[in-house]
Amino acid sequence: MSGASGDGWVEGPDGARYWGRFGAAGLLVVSADREVLLQHRAEWSHFGGTWGMPGGARHEHETAREAAFREAGEEAGVPADALAVRFSSVLDLGYWSYTTVVATAERRFEPLIGDPESITVAWTPIDEVDTLPLHPRFAEAWPGLRARL
């Protein structure tokens, strides 16, 4: 772990709460078959029951890429050595930020549920992502991410 845990809420000036004292990051993995790896979030979690990418709070002094890879490994069994980073997209609110790291899976792997935050993790065809109940922030970001894939 790079520094102190970032687990905890940040509250914005409007009262909105965001997870990750040092910001947060997620990993969107794209397969050669035009699928993305998605996580069905546990009901008890923030926006539970929705689909999104594996991700979570950054640790102190951890880069967004390090956090995204760590979280994806913990939550979905994503092997870092199977990935090639394509680009990153940042939502910066000034007091909190979320970085989406987009990577290509250079070899196929089977995702594995690695912690209780997931109901399931699955490869999902890009054309079917919009049919799922998406995490609200992922739903907002998805059209722009999809256009860049």
* CATH number, domain containing residue 131: 3.90.79.10
Cα distance between residue 69 and residue 101, in whole Å: 9
Overall domain count for the chain: 1
* 54, part of any domain: yes
**pLDDT, the chain, mean:** 95
* 117, part of any domain: yes
Task: Report pLDDT digits (tens) over 58-76.
Answer: 999 999 999 999 999 999 9
* 2, part of any domain: no
* 126, part of any domain: yes
pTM: 0.93
**In the predicted structure, residue 20 carries a pLDDT above the cut 60:** yes
Domain limits at 41?
Answer: 9-148
Q: Which of 86, 122, 87, 128 is nearest to 106 (CA)?
A: 86
* 14, part of any domain: yes
* 3, part of any domain: no
Average pLDDT over residues 79-94: 96
* 75, part of any domain: yes
Task: Report pLDDT digits (tens) over 99-123.
Answer: 999 999 999 999 999 888 899 999 9
